[in-house]
């Protein structure tokens, strides 16, 4: 996909991404929330979101919902995502590039191990 040149381009990307996402998360084991505020998008949150959706799909992981949210207020560590698994304490990760997203999915989502070096906050915001 090329560079975003206008708000219209951005809205198109958002719509197509939303179509790909299963927004219903009621029967899921957990969810990944991607902060899509202005600061997150500027830092690459769109690529991170796409990578997360692609990796989950490649690995056949269907019990994790992917949802978007507004800004977490953590501008300096964007892109940020929050991982919630069952009743466990939520974990917010920062500087989540597509490569780091893969690490988080492999370790946290699949093995249940928090990726400590990327954690910016634990618990509710």
Q: Site residues (CB under 6 A) for ligand FES?
A: 37-39, 71, 73, 75
Nearer to ligand FES, 35 or 105 (CB): 35
Nearer to ligand FES, 45 or 65 (CB): 45
The 3-state secondary structure of the chain, one letter per residue: CCCCCCHHHHHHHHHHHHHHCCCCCCCCCEEEEEECCHHHHHHCHHHHHHHHHHHHHHCCCCCEEEEEECCCCCHHHCCCEEEEECCCCCEEECCCCHHHHHHHHHHHHHHCCCCHHHEEEECCC
- What is the closest distance, in whole angstroms, from the C-beta atom of residue 42 to ligand FES in the complex? 8
- What is the closest distance, in whole angstroms, from the C-beta atom of residue 97 to ligand FES in the complex? 18
- What is the closest distance, in whole angstroms, from the C-beta atom of residue 116 to ligand FES in the complex? 24
Nearer to ligand FES, 39 or 66 (CB): 39
């Amino acid at each position: 996909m090329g560079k975003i040149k206008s708000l219209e381009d951005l809205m198109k990307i958002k719509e197509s991404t939303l179509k790909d996402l299963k927004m219903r998360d009621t029967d899921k084991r957990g969810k990944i929330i991607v902060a899509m505020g202005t600061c997150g998008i500027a830092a690459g949150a769109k690529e991170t979101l796409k990578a997360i959706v692609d990796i989950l799909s490649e690995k056949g992981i269907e019990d994790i919902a992917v949802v978007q949210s507004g800004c977490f207020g953590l501008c300096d560590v964007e892109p940020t995502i929050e991982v919630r698994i069952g009743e466990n304490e939520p974990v917010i990760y920062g500087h989540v590039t597509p490569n780091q997203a893969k690490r988080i999915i492999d370790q946290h989502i699949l093995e249940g191990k928090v990726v400590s070096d990327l954690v910016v906050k634990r618990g509710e915001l």
